[in-house]
Structure 1
Amino acid sequence: MELLVVIAIIGVLVGLLLPAVQAAREAARRMSCSNNFKQIGLALHNYHSAYNNLPTQRGGTWDGTTGWPPAVTTTHNNSQLSMLVGLTPFMEQQAIWEQISNPLDDADDNPVDVWPPMGPSVDNNDQYTPWITQIPTLRCPSDPGNGLPGYGRTNYGACMGDNYYSPWGDHPWWSLTETFYDMGWPDIKKCQRGVFTARKSTQFRDILDGLSNTIIAGEMITYLGDRDVRASSVQASAVGSQSIEVPTACRDSIDPQRPGFWDPAYETHQENGGGTGVRGGRGYQWANGFAVHTEVYTVLPPNSEICGDLSSGQWMGALTDRIHTTVSSQHQGGAHVLMSDGAVKFITDSIEAGDNTVGMTNPWGTGGLASAYGLWGALGTKGMKEVIGEEF
């Protein structure tokens, strides 16, 4: 009897201890994740000190002739590189930067004799060594995603502001040049309100709301092939009358029995033929500047669903910016964001985010207007005079 009592006591103690151990391990992983983000913040500041501007989101090389949709190329990268590529030499990744910035002959069975400086299009990632290289600083230890069908995953992306519906500002192939921005399209800055603007670099001086009040990057999970609403998308126009301009357009297609996953009745852009492979998954390509891979928007609160408006044959977030992606994480209750001054904050899922039913039907008319998405939206804009007066 005494032995049974002792065994029972030990069992109770172990039962109490295991959750504490798991919590301690997650706390350590969360701290490591935060430290990685701080390294990225330091890299951004060092980059700005060196070049007097921030790295470009969706920058790179282009031959001036490639049409739409962008094709897989071996002679240039279609101007689709993420801002993380330029940060590599500032994140103790000088070796990979040397491979990217110089002509590279990395294998005897290479389909081309020598890869060009700045590499081919990122969709050549199973052939071009730098694009498939996993960079430890870009991975959150709490995220279990690893290996195929993703290569070179990332858990951190550029903050593009509170307006993802900017159809003329960043994705059309004819808008790659600086001329597009400097002549005839002054309204671009009205609808691209985040620190990063596609295909055009910005400076810290452009962040008029203050570096400590403006999000520059956000955390995100990588897709695990499980129809997670935070890492895969359904087609908004296929699930109801609402269009993608309404942030909650895809919400009716969430499984009511499993709120974190899409209803099996709806096809996602990962399970269909057009979205399989490395193009479709959230965070699958650290070097790819398209929204699904390396961008976050301050529209829906952290860990909300992402929603696109693409047909099943298109890549999710590749051919168009008609997709919104928010921050997400495998931590409990929220996700990390990086402020422009280098501070890392943990934002809870319950942050005040305004009215999520307000659509963005007129992106050209957003200039000078306060964000419709409350505190969360205000944190994503860099020059709307929405200054946060207290700690959050």
Structure 2
Amino acid sequence: MSQLPRSPYRPRGFTLVELLVVIAIIGVLVGLLLPAVQAAREAARRMSCSNNFKQIGLGIHNYHSAYNKMPKHGTGPQAVRAIGSNWPQERDFQHERLSAQVGLLPFVEQQALWEQISNPLIVTSGGTTETYPAWGAVPWGVVAQTNNYSTDWTPCFTDVNTFRCPSDPGFGLPLGGRSNYGVCYGDAIDYMSFGPYTNWARNVRADAEYNASARGCFGIYTQTAFRDVLDGLSNTICMGENNTDLGDEHITTSPRHGGNVENNPTNCSGQIEVSRPTFWRTSPHNNNFVETKRGSCWAGVTMGWTMCNTILPPNREVCSTGQNTAGGGTWTVSSRHQGGAHVLMADGAVRFITDSIEAGDSKVGPVSFGQSGVRAPGSASPYGLWGSLGTRASKEVIDEEF
């Protein structure tokens, strides 16, 4: 009996084993690809952050070309009436509490916002019309929504893209008008939160103490010029990057009180959670006061909002001398980028400083009035390369790459 010839047709398809192998290969490829995509996105965000800083640097140079000075940190009209001896009574007199970034607005393509701030502003909200004077309300009275200040003075709440890092996810209340960049006031703590004033009046003692510590490119309530940067514009940090607070008690955004931090900048390190070294294990002294949160308002002069120093290396803890954690302290630079943070040099260059930069002895107090040895006024920074980059005229020799 003869057999029928075999059909040339063969069924096509995958076996179960072949299908599982293909799925596994695809899974491996996706697993390899996703980190690369994330890294590419972060690289793009980091470049955008650097470009923002370059824009700010160009604005500072254009400002200096116009006025032969850098913008004043702590600007605005002076108070004529005050509560007690310190604080202005009315929003009409916000007493030099505006940051250098306000003065930079026309030089970073924000002329419209500058016009709002520098002129009287009429705001209607909820059927109520209110007229604000030029320069507006006290920034932290608006942002913190405390006292009797209306929260309708919109300039403080305006987000300026040039002042924001794309890698920082912080957005909206309770902070208003967030800022990721702050002026650098050097390697000091003493007198850096209120400048050469005692009860809003200058005197010889305050001037002496302030001048002994004010070694940075910027000061508070005072103006510097490029001619004051004797160490060289390319060797001096002008501004630094900082994170904005996310409400998660991160060590770079929610300061703790360090007691004797002006003599030992690491005094807050014992409050860090050992198992999660980028978060605190303790509660803040004043959790409801927004003034204590980092990056709260680009228009305000407050320490944590728009200022930084070069004592602790990048991305270390922020530690304050004030009981309400809003005073002087170690307000170092920080970022959501991996491994470091950007700084703007006085010549307009943007550099990325790694967390591992040589930073001397962090347990030594900074240079200040009445001190001796390595802390005597005029001494080289005790904080190594990092500290020397923050001083403008201490004659340190920068002979290392950074």
The corresponding residue for 1:377 is 387
User: How many angstroms apart in 2 are the aligned matches of 1:56 and 1:90?
Assistant: 14
* Residues 348, 193 of structure 1: alpha-carbon distance in 2 compared, 3 angstrom cutoff: same
| Cα distance in 2 for residues equivalent to 1:210 and 1:100 | 34
Structure 2 equivalent of residue 140 of structure 1: 165
Secondary structure of 1:39's aligned partner: helix
Contact between 1:301 and 1:376, CA under 8 Å: does it hold in 2? yes
Q: Deviations over 1:154-209 (max 9, x none)?
A: 00000010011227961755345xx547x983453221100111101110000000
Work out which of the residue numbers 262, 267, 273 in structure 2 matches 1:255.
273
In 2, Cα distance between equivalents of 1:19 and 1:218: 28
Which residue of 330, 336, 343 maps to 2:349? 343
Q: Quote how far apart the aligned CAs of 1:310 are.
A: 2.9
Instruction: Compute the displacement of 1:3 (Å).
Output: 1.4
Cα 1:159–1:175 shift into 2, 3 Å? same
For residue 340 of structure 2, the aligned residue among 326, 334, 340 is 334
Q: Deviations over 1:361-387 (max 9, x none)?
A: 843444210000000000000000113
Shift of 1:152: 0.2
1:54 aligns with 2:79: no
Task: Find the counterpart in structure 1 of residue 107 from structure 2.
Answer: 90
Q: C-alpha offsets along residues 95-115 of structure 1, whole Å, 9 cap, x if unaligned?
A: 000011111112255977421
Matches for 1:41-190 after TM superposition, within 5 Å: 41-66=57-82, 67-70=84-87, 73-107=90-124, 113-122=130-139, 123-125=141-143, 126-166=151-191, 170=195, 172=197, 174-175=199-200, 180=203, 185-190=207-212
C-alpha offsets along residues 201-237 of structure 1, whole Å, 9 cap, x if unaligned? 1100000000000000000000100110111122223
Whole-Å separation in 2 of the counterparts to 1:222 and 1:64? 33
Is the alpha carbon distance of 1:24 and 1:279 closer, same or farther for their aligned partners in structure 2, counting shifts above 3 Å? same
User: Which letter maps to 1:139?
Assistant: R
Q: 1:84 to 1:173 in 2, by over 3 A?
A: farther
Q: Does 2:231 match 1:231?
A: no
| Residue pair 1:211, 1:340 contacting (<8 A) in 2 also | yes
In structure 2, relative to structure 1, the CA distance for the partners of 1:187 and 1:361 (3 Å cut) is closer
Change beyond 3 A, Cα 1:55–1:180:
farther
User: Which amino acid in 1 is paired with 2:33?
Assistant: L
In structure 1, what is the Cα distance between the partners aligned to 2:357 and 2:304?
Answer: 23
- Return the alpha-carbon distance in structure 2 between the equivalents of residues 220 and 344 of structure 1: 14
Quote the residue 1:13 is aligned against.
29
Deviates more, 1:15-24 or 1:55-64: 55-64
In 2, Cα distance between equivalents of 1:92 and 1:112: 29
Deviates more, 1:156-165 or 1:364-373: 364-373
Alignment of 1:260-339 (within 5 A): 260-263=278-281, 266-269=282-285, 274-311=286-323, 314=324, 316-317=325-326, 320-321=327-328, 323-339=329-345
Larger mean CA deviation between 77-86 and 12-21 belongs to 77-86
Instruction: Report the TM-score, using the length of structure 2 for normalisation.
Output: 0.87
Q: Is the 8 A contact 2:99 2:299 kept in 1?
A: yes
- Larger Rg belongs to: 2
What is the identity, as a one-letter code, of the residue corresponding to 1:209?
D
2-structure distance, mates of 1:89, 1:327: 26
Question: Which of 42, 46, 49 matches 1:26?
Answer: 42
> Gaps (5+ residues) in structure 2?
1-16, 144-150
Q: Residue type matched to 2:228 in 1?
A: D
Shift of 1:145: 0.3
- 1:215 maps to which residue? 237
Deviation at 1:71, TM superposition (A): 5.0
Query: Counterparts of 2:119 and 2:359 in 1: how far apart (Å)?
Result: 44
CA gap of 1:109–1:71, structure 2 versus 1, over 3 A, is farther
Mapped to 2, the partners of 1:71 and 1:245 lie a distance apart of: 31
Q: CA deviation at 1:118?
A: 1.4
Mapped pair 1:38 → 2:43 = no
2:314 is matched by which residue type in structure 1?
A: P
Q: Provide Cα deviations, 1:293-336, integer angstroms capped at 9, x if missing partner.
A: 1110000000000101333xx3x32xx32x22000000000000
Match of 2:11 in 1: none
Residues in 1 aligned to 2:234 and 2:156: alpha-carbon distance in whole angstroms: 32
Unaligned ranges ≥5, structure 1: none
Distance 2:113 2:280 in 1: 37
Q: Contact between 1:72 and 1:124, CA under 8 Å: does it hold in 2? A: no
Larger RCO (alpha carbons 8 Å, 6+ apart): 1
* Deviation, structure 1 residue 62: 1.9
TM-superposed CA distance for 1:88, in Å, is 0.6
> Following TM superposition, by how much is the alpha carbon of 1:61 offset from its aligned partner in structure 2, in angstroms?
1.5
Amino acid at match of 2:398: I
> Is residue 2:399 matched to residue 1:389?
yes
- TM-score normalised to structure 1 length: 0.90
Tell me if structure 2 keeps the 8 A contact 1:191–1:364. no
Matches of 2:136 and 2:195, distance apart in 1: 21
Aligned AA (2:381) = S
55 and 111 in structure 1: CA distance in 2 versus 1, 3 angstrom threshold: farther
Call closer, same or farther: CA 1:350–1:39 in 2, change over 3 Å. Answer: same
* Identity fraction in percent: 50
